[in-house]
Amino acid sequence: MKYKLFSNSHSLFVWAAVLLFLLAGSATAAIDGISGTGTGTPADPVTFDLTVKMNAISTADGGSVVFWGYADTSVPPSNANRPQYPGPTLIVEQGQTVEIILTNELELLTGATPNVSIVFPGQQVTATGGVSGLLTREAQTTDVPGTPEDESLVTYTFIATNPGTYMYHSGTRPELQVEMGLLGALIVRPAGFNPLNPTAYGPGTEYDREFLFLLSEMDPLIHETVFAYGPDAPELMETDALSDYFSKYWFMNGRTAPDNMGNAGESAGSLLLYQPYNSLPRMHPGERMLMRVIGGNREMHPFHHHGNHARVIARDGRLLDTGTGGPLAPGEDPDLSFEVFTINSVPGETVDAIFEWTGKGLNWDVYGVSDDPQFATDPPLPHDCTDLVDNETGVAPPDGYGDPGTDTPWEYCADHLKMFPTLLPQKLDLAFGGWYGGSPFLGSMGALPPGEGGLNPNGGFSYMWHSHTEKELTNFDIFPGGMLTMLIIEGWNVDID
């Protein structure tokens, strides 16, 4: 059974990696990706070199799944020319001319090597080179001697006309090749993007932090069959594996939980060299988090974000207002955004949502009351809730939230000094989770029995963000795992960057 190669030791390793990562406090607030070479003019397009190769990814149950991935083979490469799942996140700017040069270095054990390609839903793409395919031009593995074109190389060119979140994926037998791993994210930043004051779509879409949630799934049976028999074999095509699909692994940014909560990049360890991206959202109260959610493969994964609603502001890279969206009411510009706590994540669709959290409505002081006798042995942080100005404008009148630069920015002052509403049981009577820091208060820690806690070293509030198709919280039937991560709300005393 190849799924059991590493099981327990690997799992422990990953949880340890999560711990180290959090202790180091080295998260990046931006989305990992590559921005190509070139200035983006038609004469000097932003250029990416992608090459399709085969390798194997790891799953957190100790499994290993053969996959086909896009490798960044630009000079210098971002991930040592390795194929990766998902493919490199391409980050460009609105208005730039973008060029992706695709080559095909698939080497199969058996069966004819297929052509590969890329399609870019939402973009108007010109494809040159390669050979004609059903949806776009495709790259063979070899150039045909004596023909003027290079059949082994396709160039896709488009102008990134609109900002937003998009994806790219294989346009060659997508039901097989996207499943095999040929997919990735494309992010188009608005023209004149300023990383110090970022927006998703220009004014009105400001955010403080952004995270990518590229959700996908796999049926390892398909991968094993392709590996053993080839992609056209009756062992695959005469079953219902592709027509009546049944997934068994679920990924966020290409990793199953808890691997997705480990470090990004090579520091995640040698088992995740082909899965360089992680998924661990962290934020301070009051910050605006931009969630870029992509339905990557072929199934819906209702993405449930605990902690608060999120406001969906765009879909398929278009703002949900009629400023760009509607011809129906000239001169009007209604806001068509809406709030949800579950994002459908429809296959192929992208969603941008703004998530905020302040603790408003909990009806107790999230930073704790320092003289609460219940917590005499682990007293929470003494703090004031100072509210003189509106946090958005910086001037009076006050808005009900702690001001920037005070003890607790964005604390909901109406709940300040409200006691914790229940008596906690004695610690001997409690069962702990790894994310409990010993104190129910933001930014505070408390004593824990030996061996408990540790995944939340800053005393943040952690909320599970996950697929609400609950079976997807597993790795090949083993709970917990799959499509889940933790949002960590960190106290303002914790430096996230």
Partner 1 sequence: MKKTILMHAMLPVLAIICAVLVASPSVAQVFELAAVETQWLPPGGTADVDEIRMWGFIEDTGSCPAPGSPWTPGPVLRPTDGSLTINLRNCLSVPVSIMIPGQVATGTPEPLTGRVQSFTTETDPFPATGIYIWTGLNAGTFIYHSGTNPGRQVPMGLYGAIIVDNAPGEAYPDPAAGAAFAYNNEALLLYSEIDPALNNDPDTLEVARPLTYSPKYFLINGQPFDAPASPVPAGFPGARTLIRFANIGLKSYMPLILNGPYMKVIAEDGHPYPYAKEQYMVNLAPGKTMDALWDPTAQGNFPIFDRSHHLVSGASSEGGMLALLQVSCPGDFDGDLDVDGTDLELYGDIFGPGVVPALDVFSLNFGSICQ
Count Cα atoms within 13 angstroms, Cβ side, for 455: 22
Q: Residue 246 CB, nearest distance to partner 1 (Å)?
A: 10
Stretch that binds partner 1, among 10-18, 192-200, 286-294, 298-306 (CB under 8 A): 298-306
Give yes or no for residue 159 binding partner 1 (CB under 8 A): no
Shortest Å, Cβ 242 to partner 1: 5
Cβ-based nearer residue to partner 1, 418 or 468? 468
CA–CA distances in Å: residue 344 to residues 164, 352, 480? 18, 12, 21
Closer CB to partner 1, residue 99 or residue 349?
349
Query: Is 468 an interacting residue with respect to partner 1 (CB under 8 A)?
Result: no
Minimal distance in Å, beta carbon 343 to partner 1?
12
Ranges assigned E (strand) in 219-266:
249-252
Judged by CB under 8 A, the stretch of 72-80, 196-204, 294-302, 440-448 that binds partner 1 is 294-302
Q: Which residues contact 404 (CB under 8 A, 6 or more apart)?
A: 391, 394
Interface of this chain with partner 1, residues 102 to 141, rule: CB under 8 A: 119, 121-125, 134-136
Minimum CB distance to partner 1 smaller for 50 or for 119: 119
Residue closer to partner 1 by CB (options 50, 125) is 125
| Parallel/antiparallel/unpaired status of strands 209-218 and 289-295 | parallel
What's the rounded Cα separation, in Å, for the pair 262 and 255?
A: 10
Contact partners, residue 98, CB within 8 Å, separation at least 6? 36, 40, 45, 46, 47, 48, 90, 92, 157, 158, 159, 160
| Total binding residues toward partner 1, as defined by CB under 8 A | 48
Q: Which is nearer to partner 1, 336 or 417 (CB)?
A: 336
The pairing of strands 97-104 and 46-58 is parallel
Element spanning 269, H or E = none
Q: How far is the CB of 322 from partner 1 (least distance, A)?
A: 5
203-262 binders of partner 1 (CB under 8 A): 232, 234, 237-238, 240, 242-245
186 binds partner 1 (CB under 8 A): no
Distance of CA 189 to the CA centre of its chain: 17
Q: Work out how close the CB of 235 gets to partner 1 at its nearest, in angstroms, rounded to a whole number.
A: 11
Closest distance of CB 375 from partner 1, Å: 48
What is the nearest approach in angstroms of partner 1 to the Cβ of residue 298? 4
DSSP class of residue 433? -
Q: Which of 374, 310, 369 is nearest to 342 (CA)?
A: 310
- 90/109 Cα distance (integer angstroms): 30
- 298 scored as a contact of partner 1 (CB under 8 A): yes
Distance of CA 280 to the CA centre of its chain: 8
Instruction: Give me the sign of the Cα torsion angle 267, 272, 278, 279.
Output: negative
Q: Which is nearer to partner 1, 124 or 393 (CB)?
A: 124
Residue 314 and residue 352 in contact, taking contact as beta carbons nearer than 8 Å: yes
Interface of this chain with partner 1, residues 338 to 357, rule: CB under 8 A: 344, 346-349
Strand partners, 98: 46, 158
What is the DSSP annotation of 93-108? ETT-EEEEEEEE----
Closer to partner 1 at the Cβ: 75 or 328? 328
Residue closer to partner 1 by CB (options 179, 259) is 179
Nearer to partner 1, 116 or 369 (CB): 116
CB of 184 to partner 1, least distance (A): 15
- For partner 1, the closer of residues 180 and 369 by Cβ is 180
Residue 274 and residue 266 in contact, taking contact as beta carbons nearer than 8 Å: no
Residues 309-328 vs partner 1: string with x where CB under 8 A? ------xx-x-x-x-xxxxx
β-strand pairing of 350-355 with 46-58: unpaired
**Interface residue list for partner 1 (CB under 8 A):** 119, 121-125, 134-136, 171, 173-176, 178-179, 232, 234, 237-238, 240, 242-245, 297-300, 315-316, 318, 320, 322, 324-330, 334, 336, 344, 346-349
